[in-house]
Structures are given as structure tokens and as C-alpha cells.
Structure 1
């Protein structure tokens, strides 16, 4: 059996209230009150390294590292070997990258479970984002920085995967062309209802059916938070109240962590032995859902309370947008 035995979240200490961004350019509120911002010398690899070191806690007996991000440092080039080396792993460690959309985080998690079910002993899943959204773009008031880590093992107590579900629909609610200056977003209501809510609901329903569970059986629903509002709508569509959301304030407090959002939410979830939960991810028309039973919950991550608030000019420098 494949189990989640460790879960971690690593957030940079820098923050900017989204009201400070709207003061510059105007625009309506997204439900994100404050978002995390990377340090000036951070990229997804450095952020993922911190999360990975915390998850491994000195261990080096990992068969594979799966790394998910949509803000890769290079369009062409592999950073995963550097990531494995920074974690102290040998060069025979299998590495694989996942991208394409924010769904990359749960795609990597599902692949890790499949790898362990197929004979691997331990797979480390890392997801990280260090966004650099263009000023005045829709992403500027929501895109946050951070990294999550999940260790999937064949042996040990933790979260046992019971079933999976998926949904892949031919729609693009977000996209970025090669060489494009910024990510494009479809109509907000289309992106929310047809994209995030309907697609992810289908994946969650299929995972519940495969597990033989009803929505009422869930003790927790772990979702991505593209802003401060979407997850509550999806919980209602699934048939549970917002009280079942593992971390309802995640998007409001940290912003959209993209590929790291779902596992970041999982890292903070308050879980108990015997709980049943579904962990779901979404991006660009495709969703994954994984159903788990908890034997013994791995320790939840903690967020450092010491933060540094940036003004808008400092934020632009951190986000590499100051010309």
C-alpha cells in the first residue's frame, strides 16, 4: 500500500497586502487579502529545497523525486538533478518534472502513489511556485510564492490512498503562449464554474464512487485555492459545507500557490485517525482527486509567524518586475 507519511509547507516570510496592489491600479477584490512573495534570490528550486529538507529530516533513502511547478526557472533545461543534489540524494535517484498547469502538483502526487504501488519504496513529491506576474495583470493580486512537500512510502502509518478520480475536459480557462508576456485568463465566471468547479467536482465524485463513499463520509476536503472564494463554491457543489474544507482561509492568507496549493493545504490540515478525506487538484480543464483513509496522521506543518510586509516598489523588485 502507498501512504503519505510526511507533509510540509514552506512559505517565504515576505508578504504584500493585495490592497496595496489595487491602490496602484484599481480593480475588484479577489478574496485574497495578502499573498506570499519570494525573496529576491529565490526561485522554485530553492523554495522546493527547503520544503524537501523539512520533509526528509535527514533521510536520503528516497527512490525518486517528482517536482511540479508552472514557474520554472528555464523554458528548456532540467533543474531536478540540482534539486536532488541539494537534498543530499545520490545521482541514481530517479527524477521527473511536472508542469503544464496548476494541476501539476496532484499529477505528481498521483504518479508517486502509482510508483510506490509499482515497487518503489519512497517517492518525494515537491511542488513550488515563484511567480512574476506582470503589473496590472489579473495574476498580480492573487499569485503567491511557496513550496509544499509530500513523502509517499510503501511502509508506515499515514494517509492510505484508497481510490482516485479524474476529469479532463477540452477547455482553456487559463493559458500562456510561448514567448507570451503574461498568462491569459478567460471570463471569471467561466473559469470558476465551467473550469474549476464543474471539472473538479467530477473528479471528486468519481473518487468517492471508486472508494464507495458518500460526500457525508468526508472528514476533510483538501482543495486548491486559486483565490479566496472558489474553494467554498466547490465544497457546496460536492455536497459538503465549508466546514469540511481542510483550510478554508488558505487562499485569503497566502494567495494562489499554483501547483503547490493543494499539497500546501494538505500540509496544514487538521486530521485525525479514522478520517476519510479527498485531496483534489485542478488546472486548465483537468482535475485529479485522491481518496485517503487516515491510520495515523503525519504531523501537520507550521507557518512561521515572523513576516515582512513589502510596499509595492519592494514587491516589484522581489517579483523581478522592477525595470
Structure 2
């Protein structure tokens, strides 16, 4: 049996009401709100957050990590390798990037299924993440949302058995983004929905049901990608699915269209409510289509969590803040010295302490130190240390500063000293927290974030955030 063994999601807590966007441009609002990644987040950091959730759900052994996105931070460098290093996975882990199509997530999923079935891998994490932008005043600007999902594919402790899959390709220039362009473009909506989405999805869904001899009524849930609310509903009606009881909410109103993560996010929402022996029909669309038939097992209760809890944490932002985070408006630079670009050789030497957040612990007295030291600050023993991982530890704010003179993209910046449970202390930025919320003793957890860019090099490190 090969199927999904665990899952994790990363939803930025920041929400931008579509009414805010519509008011700025004096256009019609689509209603609801969209999830927005902060300036220190991108598709890589969100993928790390989702994969960490996947590991916390009980996944023990990982020998493969596939990353899927249309907004990978590097055009020529493997993002999956950075994610694997941040997760502290073994060096033998197979890594791969799947890019340039909104179907990349399900293409990566199919590849993971094939690898596990062949016996070349036992457990593969597929992390789909996107942070797309639509041009100002466009429908895409309101419709898009940011987020990431990680699904673990394996052959033991399966929570959703993948009974079958079906794929086909299609060539139609409907939504695209050229090299160097930050915004997604598209052709005329009625044409691409009628000739592309509707026809392809009807073919793929009819094809998978015919191949495995099942009918629409046999599915407890139908998880189908849609470019917008109207097209999604029309497709479900044409194929005979009950919109009220069978069709999974596309999450447009609360999160937005998350690109490669859109369908996996809907699937996780369905898994959160699924019961043993339920059948779920899953279908994705972009440059063709992929369809899967899943059957829920008795193991679902071991990893099930309610997605509503993740949606409850919200920090509302205005449109000006969104424009600032996306570098869409020029801002006056702070009167500070230029930040030196990171040293690639230094990052390589300290990759374990920087990417995986390892300190060390004294073998004599148990004192934990970060960054790793040669001499114990407590007992002065030299070179008697063992590696000690801090990224998975909770802590509390010992003290903090609210910095209004920061060189960060947004002021004030929150800088805190965190004392970890079990020992160890680190000074770092506090993320996903407003200045009015921070306090001494506040419980925090670590999260992987982007510090900035210098000399063409992206710099990533860990920050603390309030425990969700």
C-alpha cells in the first residue's frame, strides 16, 4: 500500500481584505480576504514550515524531498537542497525541484508515488509552495494567496491509500510569466476557461472514473482545482457532484488561490474532516491535468488536525503594507551603513548552525551554547561538546527591544533574547508578532525566515514567533 502518511501546512497569519485592494483602485471587490506572506517569507521558507509540520505529525524516516513551485527564489540553484539542510535531513536524501507549472505539485506527487512503488525510496516529502503576484488593479491581485503544503508519501502507516491515478497534458497559453517579470499574465478569461479548464478537467475526471470503474456518488469528497469560484462550481455541477456535501471548499474566500499549493491545501482540508473508508477524488489542472483516487485508512486519526484552528490566527494588514512587503513602491532607505553581503564560504562552514540551528552541549556539565563554542562558559571544559539541535525547541522571551532605527523593510523591528527549554539562549528577530503583543515570558517557537539579500545572495536564518 502506497499513499499519504503525513501532512503539514504553512499559512501566513497576515490577511489582506479584498475590499482594501478594490478601494485603492476604485474597482469591484471579489469579497473575502487573501493570505499574504511577510517580507521575510518566500516559497522556500513556507515550504520549510510546511515540511516541519509534516515531520511533527509522526514521520520518522525521510529519504526524499521534492519541492514544487512557480516562484522558486533561485533561478539556477536547487531549492530542495536548502530545504533539506534546514530540516536536518540525511545527506543521502534524494532532492529535486519541480517548477514552472501550477501542476508541479501533483507532478511531484506522481513522481514520489512511482519512486516508493518501485522501492527506490521509502518516504518522500513533497512540499508545494507559492508566492505569486498579480499586477495592480488586476483580478489576480485579489485572487492570489500565499502558502505551502507538505505531503509525505510512503508505504507504511498510510493514512490515505492512493488507489489509482491518471494524467494527461494539454497545450494552451492561458496563464504565464516571462523571465524577469514579477506578474502573472493571462489570456481572455472566457476562452481559457471554456477551451482549457472545463474541457480538460471534464476529460481527466471522466477518464479516471472510467479507468477505475467508479461513479461520482462513490466519493465522500471531491477535491478539484479551480481558477476561480464560478468556474470551480460550474465544473462540479456538470460532472454530477453535489456542491453542498461532496465538493471541497476551494478556500478562495479565506486564503486565495495558492498556485501549486492550492490543490494540496484543499486536500489537507478534506483529510482533516475525513473518516476511515471514505473515498476522495482529487484533480489538478494546468498544462493538462492529474487525477488521483484516495481511500482513507484507520490511521487517519493519528495525524488529523482541524484546519480551522490554523485559520483562526489572523493579523489584518492594509494595502500600503502589502505594497511595501512586495517592493512595489520605492521607499526612502534608512540612514544606515550598507549591509555587507553574506560570505558564501562562511555560510558553507557554518551551514549546520545557520540552516539547521545546531548549538552544542557540554558533555561535562550539560550547558547548551549557541553559536557552538570550543570552551564551556560554565565549567571551562575545552572541546568536550556534542551537537544540540535548537530549531525544534520551544522557549520564552527573556528580554526584547523594539527597534525603530532598523535597516529592516518595516519598522519597528522586534529583537528578542530567547531562553530555550532544556537550556540554551539565542538573540534573534521576533516574527509574526505585533509590537503591542510582545511581552517578557511569552512562549515562542523557531521558524525559518529570509533575512534579506546582498550581493545577489539570499540569506536565510531562524527567527522566533509566538507559539501558535
Q: 1:35 touches 1:142 (CA, 8 Å); kept in 2? A: yes
The offset of 1:201, in angstroms, is: 2.2
Partner of 1:56: 55
* Distance apart, 1:114 and its partner CA: 1.1
Alpha-carbon distance between aligned partners in 1 of 2:214 and 2:290, rounded to the nearest angstrom: 17
Q: In 1, Cα distance between the equivalents of 2:252 and 2:106? A: 17
Q: CA 1:250/1:151 → structure 2, altered by over 3 Å: closer, same or farther?
A: same
8 Å contact 1:223–1:262 — kept in the other structure? yes
1:186-201 mapped onto 2 (5 Å cutoff): 186-201=187-202
Q: Equivalents in 2 of 1:300, 1:279: separation in Å?
A: 20
Cα distance in 1 for partners of 2:187, 2:28 equals 16
**Secondary structure, aligned partner of 2:41:** coil
Q: Which has the larger radius of gyration?
A: 2
Equivalent in the alignment of 1:286: 288
User: How far 1:4 moved relative to its partner?
Assistant: 0.7
Offset, 1:304:
4.2
Distance 1:172 1:279, change over 3 A: same
Q: Secondary structure, in 3 states, of the residue corresponding to 1:164?
A: strand
Deviation at 1:167, TM superposition (A): 2.7
Matched, 1:184 2:163: no
Secondary structure at 2:229 match in 1: coil
How far residue 260 of structure 1 moved from its aligned partner, in angstroms, is 0.3
Aligned twin of 1:313: 320
Determine the C-alpha separation between the residues in 2 that align with 1:194 and 1:166.
Answer: 18
CA distance in 2, matches of 1:143, 1:245: 24
Q: Distance in 2 between matches of 1:16 and 1:115?
A: 40
Shift of 1:62: 0.7
Query: How many angstroms apart in 2 are the aligned matches of 1:312 and 1:162?
Result: 45
Q: Give the distance between the partners of 1:206 and 1:63, measured in 2 at CA.
A: 33
What's the CA shift for 1:237?
2.5
What TM-score results when the alignment is normalised by the length of structure 2?
A: 0.65
Give the 5 Å matches for 1:181-260: 181-248=182-249, 250-260=251-261
For residues 314 and 226 of structure 2, the distance between their equivalents in structure 1, rounded to whole angstroms, comes to 21
Instruction: Give 1:276's match in structure 2, choosing from 268, 274, 279.
Output: 279
Following superposition of structure 1 onto structure 2, how do residues 120-135 of structure 1 map, counting pairs within 5 Å?
120-135=121-136
Give the CA deviation at 1:309: 0.8
Give the C-alpha shift of residue 311 in structure 1. Answer: 0.6
Change beyond 3 A, Cα 1:125–1:301: farther
Q: Which moved more, 1:74-83 or 1:259-268?
A: 74-83
**SS in structure 2 opposite 1:112?**
helix
SS at match of 1:108: helix
* Equivalent in the alignment of 1:33: 32
Kindly indicate whether the alpha-carbon contact (under 8 Å) linking 2:217 and 2:241 is maintained by their aligned counterparts in 1: yes
User: Which structure is higher in RCO with an 8 Å CA cutoff and minimum separation 6?
Assistant: 1
Task: From the two aligned structures, give the one with the greater helix fraction.
Answer: 1
The answer as to whether partners of 1:221 and 1:244 remain within 8 angstroms in 2 is no
Determine helix, strand or coil for the equivalent of 2:128.
Answer: strand
Distance 2:249 2:105 in 1: 19
TM-score (norm 1): 0.93
Distance between the aligned counterparts of 2:132 and 2:184, measured in 1? 11
- 8 Å CA contact retained: 1:273, 1:294: yes
CA contact (8 A) 1:48 1:147 kept: yes
Aligned residues: 321
What is the deviation of 1:299? 1.1
In the alignment, what sits opposite 1:261?
262
Higher strand share: 2
**Structure 1 gap segments, 5+ residues each:** none
Could you list the runs of 4 or more consecutive aligned residues of structure 1 that deviate by over 6 angstroms after TM superposition? none
Q: Is the 8 A contact 1:68 1:128 kept in 2?
A: yes
Measured in 1, the distance between the counterparts of 2:306 and 2:166 equals 26
Cα 1:244–1:88 change in 2 (3 A) is farther
Where structure 2 has 5 or more consecutive residues not aligned to the other structure, the ranges are 331-468
Which residue number corresponds to residue 72 of structure 1? Answer: 72
Counterpart of 1:72 in 2: which secondary structure?
coil
Change (3 A) 1:214 1:109: same
Give the SS at the match of 2:6.
strand
Cα pair 2:133 2:182 within 8 Å, conserved: no
Aligned-residue offset at 1:246: 4.9
Structure 1 residue 243: deviation in Å?
A: 2.3
Task: Give the match for residue 118 of structure 2.
Answer: 118
The one-character-per-residue Cα deviations of 1:291-323 (angstroms, maximum 9, x if unpaired) are: 111123351452141211111100112233232
